[in-house]
Amino acid sequence: MTSTAPAPAVGDALAGVSTILVVTAHPDDVDFGAAGTVATWTAAGVDVVYCIVTDGDAGGSDRSVSRAEMAATRRREQQAAAAALGVRDVRFLGHPDGRLTPSIELRRDISRVIRQVRPDRVVTQSPERDWHRIYASHPDHLAAGEAAACAVYPDARNPFAHPELLEEGLEPHTVPELWLMATARPDRVIDVTDHFDAKLAALRSHASQIGEGDGLEERLRAWMSGTALAGGLPDGRLAEAFLVVDCR
C-alpha cells in the first residue's frame, strides 16, 4: 500500500497578521529562502522585521579582508537587501559565525527580540537537516532554527524563562505561527512570481558572497519553478515553500 503526502496548500491568509519576525543565521539567508514571500508581505502592508543571529564574518574567501571588515560589509549588504523588499528594521545579534549553537544565551536573545517585536508569525530556518539539499543545512542554520523554535515555544511566552527579560520590562508574548524555510517537508507554497525581481535585487545586494551573480537568475528560476510545480502551481510560476507550525 502506497501513501501519498497531500499537496502543499497554496497561498497565505494574512487576516490578523500585522507583524512578522524573520530569524536567520547569516546575512543573505532570508534572501535565498524567503525574499519573494517577504516582498509579498510588505506589499500587503505587513511590517516585517529581521533578526540576523550572526554578522556573517566567516563568509567570503578573500583572506586579505579582515573579519571585522567582512562583518561590517555584510551588515550593510543585508540592510540594502532588506530595503529592496520594503523591510526597514534589521537587528543583528552578533553571535559567532561558523560556531553557532542553540545555546540558552541565543534562545534568550531571540526571545528578547520576540518580546520586543511581538510578532504574529516567526519565520526561521529548519532545524532538521535535509540530506537532499545539504547546503541549506549549514550547522549555523540548524542552530538558529532550533534556537528560534525554542524561543517561540516555550521561552518567549513563559514569564519564568529568562527572568532577566522581565527585569528589562519585556512581558511574555505568544507567537501563533512558526514558518520553517529550507525544509524537506513543506506544506505551504507561496506564489512569488510577481516579486521575483525584488528577490533578485535583494540577493544581488550581497556582492561579497555572490560576486557578479553570474547565472544567479537562471539558477533561481529553475529552483523556484520546480517548487511551484511541486506545489501544484501552473507552469511558468515561481514559488517559495515552508512548513507551517500552529503554536497557539
Q: Any idea where the domains of the chain sit in the sequence?
A: 9-246
> Which amino acid, residue 177?
E
What would the pLDDT profile of 198-230 be if each residue is shown by its tens digit? Answer: 999 999 999 999 988 789 999 999 999 999 999
CATH superfamily of 9-246: LmbE-like (3.40.50.10320)
- Percentage of the residues of the chain whose pLDDT score is greater than 70: 98
User: Do strands 47-54 and 89-95 pair parallel, antiparallel, or not at all (unpaired)?
Assistant: parallel
Report pLDDT digits (tens) over 70-93.
999 999 999 999 999 999 999 999
CA distances from 237 to 35, 155, 172, 222, 226 (A): 16, 38, 40, 11, 9
pTM of the model: 0.95
Q: What is the pLDDT of residue 2?
A: 46
Residues 121-167: tens digit of each pLDDT = 999 999 999 998 888 899 999 999 999 999 999 999 999 999 999 99
Percent of all residues in the chain with a pLDDT value above 90, rounded to a whole number: 88
Contacts of 137 (CB under 8 A, 6+ apart): 126, 128, 129, 130, 131, 182
Beta-carbon contacts of residue 21 (< 8 Å; ≥ 6 apart): 48, 49, 50, 51, 113, 114, 117, 119, 121, 122, 123, 175
SS3 (DSSP) at 170: coil
